[in-house]
Amino acid sequence: MLKKRIIPCLDIKDGRTVKGVSFVNLRDAGDPVELARAYADQAADEIVFLDITATHEKRKTLAALVEKIANAINIPFTVGGGISTREDVSVLISSGADKVSVNTAAVLEPELITRLAESFGSQCIVAAIDAQLIEGEWLVCINGGRTVTQVRALQWAEEVERRGAGEILLTSVNSDGTKEGFSTEITAAINNRVNIPVIASGGAGTMEHFRKVFEETSCSAALAASVFHFGEIMIPDLKRFLLKNNIYVRC
């Protein structure tokens, strides 16, 4: 049985870690290099770095900061934000990223996923899907959650797998930052549609929320930010709690 992964997320704006609610009302959460080093020491399974304003501000992800973080940790490292070309991916991998996360550019040009998977391998390509529930339909959001498209999240998940993405990072915009729990409905639905790993994201507030998403869906990992950044949940404590509840995690 594959063990479940616990993944802290560093949302980056202007070189600092930030966190908001439903992608707005951001507040500072600390130095990303120091946080990344602390999470690696706490036995986090991976770290995700998302430059959340790169696409909106029409610039590239901060490669120098990526390199500093990569040099400070010894666990898998996924980077996203403003990625739209093979060259972008090459720069980030050269800077120390193990995987890249693509969102807006892939929604606007789905062939991008195909090209990147062919060039770098599916294991390197994470399709980030920001999904928002609107009038009973889960729709894909782009531009850091600012723009709602008419792309349906379930169908998009199937397409990114078909095009070669090796993993999906699924964030519920409705739940993001609320600390009211993961959106298990859309997480389970997408898990049932695809055969690649799905990371659940958005809404973690308690250890019980992690237990619930692992028990009620087939997600391979759960990602959180503020509960880790502000010391509300310590990763070793969370892993012990999950093990006690018969959810197998890496120690």
Specify whether 130 is catalytic. yes
Specify whether 14 is catalytic. no
- Termini Cα distance of the chain: 15
Of the candidates 220, 193, 235, 63, the one whose C-alpha atom is nearest the C-alpha of residue 201 is 220
Find the catalytic residue in 45, 51, 88, 130.
130
Of the candidates 246, 245, 243, the one whose C-alpha atom is nearest the C-alpha of residue 43 is 243
Find the catalytic residue in 11, 45, 51, 88.
11
- For the annotated catalytic residues, the residue numbers are 11, 130
